[in-house]
Amino acid sequence: MSDDQISQERIPVVRESRFFDTRINLQNLIWGLAGAAAMMTFAWFQLVGDVRELRADYRNKEAAQDERMTRIEQSAQQDRSENKERWGQVAAGLKEMNDKLDRQREMFVQNSPMGRQEMRRWVK
């Protein structure tokens, strides 16, 4: 080898300094990809946990809503049965009142002058 070749090999090449260095360092690339993979794994498990929590909340709310609707339906059924009972009592009261009115009318008819034998001749 000649002296020119040896001297050229020993001289380091100086590149321009840039604001953004676009050269890729393999070690930094691997660590960056590993960090990104770790963050994606962490984010995935966070997402899965949130979805599981939302499902549990939904099930609890659905169970509470079912229980509430059951109470409403039972209350409506109880109201219906109470109304039937009340209307039955009203109907029985009306029947009893009609019976009393019929007896009173019969009593008036019997006590009218035309209904009594001894009074008929006086009325004519």
Q: Give the tens place of pLDDT for each residue, 4-58.
A: 555 556 666 566 666 776 777 889 899 999 999 999 999 999 999 999 999 999 9
Q: Cα 59 vs. chain centroid, distance in angstroms?
A: 9
pLDDT at 91: 93
Eight-class DSSP state of 10 = H
Contact (CB, 8 A) for 109 and 115: yes
> Biggest alpha carbon distance in the chain?
172
Give the pLDDT of residue 63: 93
What pLDDT was estimated at residue 2? 58
**pLDDT score at 107:** 86
- The pTM for the full model equals 0.44
- Read off the pLDDT of each residue in 86-103 and give the average, rounded to a whole number: 93
Residue 62 has pLDDT above 60, yes or no: yes
* Strand ranges (E), 1-124: none
> How far is 22 from 28, CA to CA, in rounded Å?
13
Residue 108's pLDDT is 84
Residues 6+ apart with CB under 8 A from 115: 109
